[in-house]
Amino acid sequence: MNTKQRYESAREIYKRIGVDTDAVLETLKGISISMHCWQGDDVKGFDQDGPLSGGIQATGNYPGKARTPEELMADMDKVFSLVPGKHKINLHASYAIFEDGEHADRDKLEPKHFRKWVEFAKERGLGIDFNPTFFSHSMADSGLTLSSPDDKVRNFWIEHGKACIRISEYFATELGQPCAMNIWIPDGYKDVPADRYSPRARFKDSLDQILSIDYDKEKVLVCLESKVFGIGVESYTVGSAEFCMKYAAYKGILSLMDNGHYHPTEVVSDKLSSMLLFDEKVALHVTRPVRWDSDHVVLFDDETKEIAKEIVRNDALDRVLIGLDFFDASINRVAAWVTGMRNMQKALLYALLTPYKELAKLQNDGEFTKLMVLQEELKLYPFGDVWNYFCQINGVPEKEDWLDVVKQYEEEVLLKRK
């Protein structure tokens, strides 16, 4: 049987449980995922030459990492040629592209420093999301940015935040779609702090100042990402979950939940419904924490599937902004990206193929035996046949065939980067 025939057989099987696979494939095609640029170069960026700081780490030294904007863009093109659908790119401020020998520090960044990215996105019909970069910079050497007790440091980063809002608005205007601008700061303390209150008070004031500039709230969706700990900030993070959730509610901005940023037995899949009850929109960084916030490549694993189910069955595909956040330097970086993107899409497909109304009815009727049995049986439905067909009709390789393309690219391009 060929891919189409397999799909047709799967379509009948899903039809019997009330799932319209043709409609599902249409929906899936319309879901855009924000692909983080920083998988391509281990979160290095182009605006400085120092090490990655801020309590995050990319481990591994697989050859072929992108060293220039051109290389990074070429790698992203390769990824998009292997991922079905149309997506967004997610940039960090540190990926500014300076032309004609000019340079601007983070507090002085302007839209023109991202002109080339806009060109790139326009040519490909992609949107852009953005992030101020509060790390990997000498002004962040103390480990503190927007919560710093040093006014010079704090003001520098406030100016950076404002500059990034202006750049985000430029992206939205140029590309005709909103730009999600996510604020994450690494600030915290390694050991038991003497004062937990003042750093948070300063962070609050800094955010107030950043958000005080005039900007179009339809165009720029400011998000705030919380975190429970980082390397070197094990005892206290300023931007804790409670801080960020409260701040977002107070200012009407979005909460961003990264599923590597919670205590190990907490899951973001369980948080989504609560957030959706109170917020119009919520943003995600989908990642894979292995024992810590390790940012491994997103797999088609239980938590990714559960997150996707929560988005789909709460009818929230247009209310949850799905972004990816991982950086693995130990394997082919293009393959890492493709794997994560395709897995997020598989998780969404899996969720869309679930007859959730019937399952919810079983829950309400107290039919827990049947609910469990059905949920288990659904796992063996011919999901793969639907996925392969989705790849085929969207003109990308099916199954693992895409890896051959990446391998060829590795030989012809990546391994030549010495």
Binding to Zn ion in span 220-279, by CB under 5 A? 258
Of 130 and 170, nearer to ligand RNT (C-beta) is 130
Count of residues touching Zn ion (by CB under 5 A): 3
Of 2 and 142, nearer to ligand RNT (C-beta) is 142
Q: How far apart are CA 107 and CA 163, in angstroms?
A: 7
Contact 29, 317 (CB under 8 A): no
β-pair type (220-225, 188-189)? unpaired
User: Is residue 6 exposed (0-12), middle (13-18) or buried (19+ Cβ within 10 Å)?
Assistant: middle
Which of 78, 160, 281, 285 is catalytic? The answer is 285
Q: Please indicate whether residue 47 is annotated as part of the active site.
A: no
| Under rule CB under 6 A, residue 225 binds ligand RNT | yes
Which of 88, 137, 162, 227 is catalytic? The answer is 227
Q: Please indicate whether residue 293 is annotated as part of the active site.
A: yes
The residue among 338, 325, 374 whose CA lies nearest residue 354 is: 374
- Contact partner at residue 389 from ligand RNT, Zn ion, none, CB < 5 to 8 Å by partner kind: none
Taking the complex as a whole, the smallest distance from the CB of residue 39 to ligand RNT amounts, in Å, to: 10
Q: Please indicate whether residue 75 is annotated as part of the active site.
A: no
Taking the complex as a whole, the smallest distance from the CB of residue 379 to ligand RNT amounts, in Å, to: 30
Of 41 and 258, nearer to Zn ion (C-beta) is 258
Pattern 176-195, ligand RNT, x by CB under 6 A: --------x-----------
The DSSP secondary structure of 29-97, one letter per residue, reads HT---EEEGGGTTTT--SS--S---SS-------S----SHHHHHHHHHHHHTTS-S--EEEEEGGG--
| Under rule CB under 6 A, residue 285 binds ligand RNT | yes
Q: Please indicate whether residue 258 is annotated as part of the active site.
A: yes
Q: Please indicate whether residue 184 is annotated as part of the active site.
A: yes
| Under rule CB under 6 A, residue 38 binds ligand RNT | yes
Q: How far apart are CA 251 and CA 322, in angstroms?
A: 22
Q: How far apart are CA 8 and CA 123, in angstroms?
A: 35
Contacting residues for 409 by C-beta, under 8 A, at least 6 apart: 78, 334
Binding to ligand RNT in span 379-408, by CB under 6 A? none
Pattern 140-179, ligand RNT, x by CB under 6 A: ----------------------------------------
User: Is residue 114 exposed (0-12), middle (13-18) or buried (19+ Cβ within 10 Å)?
Assistant: buried
Pattern 308-327, Zn ion, x by CB under 5 A: -----------------x--
- Contact partner at residue 333 from Zn ion, ligand RNT, none, CB < 5 to 8 Å by partner kind: none
Q: How far apart are CA 368 and CA 316, in angstroms?
A: 25
Count of residues touching ligand RNT (by CB under 6 A): 11
The residue among 204, 118, 108 whose CA lies nearest residue 169 is: 118
Taking the complex as a whole, the smallest distance from the CB of residue 260 to ligand RNT amounts, in Å, to: 6
3-state secondary structure 89-130: EEEEHHHCCCCCCCCCCHHHCCHHHHHHHHHHHHHHCCEEEE
Which of 187, 310, 325, 385 is catalytic? The answer is 325
Of 169 and 325, nearer to Zn ion (C-beta) is 325
The residue among 118, 209, 198 whose CA lies nearest residue 158 is: 209
- Contact partner at residue 56 from Zn ion, ligand RNT, none, CB < 5 to 8 Å by partner kind: ligand RNT
β-pair type (188-189, 236-237)? antiparallel
Q: Is 294 helix (H, G, I), strand (E, B) or coil?
A: coil
Binding to ligand RNT in span 310-369, by CB under 6 A? 325
Of 38 and 80, nearer to ligand RNT (C-beta) is 38
Contacting residues for 152 by C-beta, under 8 A, at least 6 apart: none
Per the structure block, which two tokens stand in for 303?
Answer: 């938590």
Which of 42, 295, 303, 328 is catalytic? The answer is 295
Q: How far apart are CA 330 and CA 315, in angstroms?
A: 37
Residue from 56, 284, 307, 406 in contact with ligand RNT (CB under 6 A): 56
- Contact partner at residue 39 from Zn ion, ligand RNT, none, CB < 5 to 8 Å by partner kind: none
Pattern 107-136, ligand RNT, x by CB under 6 A: ------------------------x-----
Which of 75, 129, 174, 225 is catalytic? The answer is 225
Positions marked catalytic? 184, 225, 227, 258, 261, 285, 293, 295, 325
Interaction site with ligand RNT (CB under 6 A): 38, 43, 56, 131, 184, 225, 227, 258, 285, 293, 325
Interaction site with Zn ion (CB under 5 A): 258, 285, 325
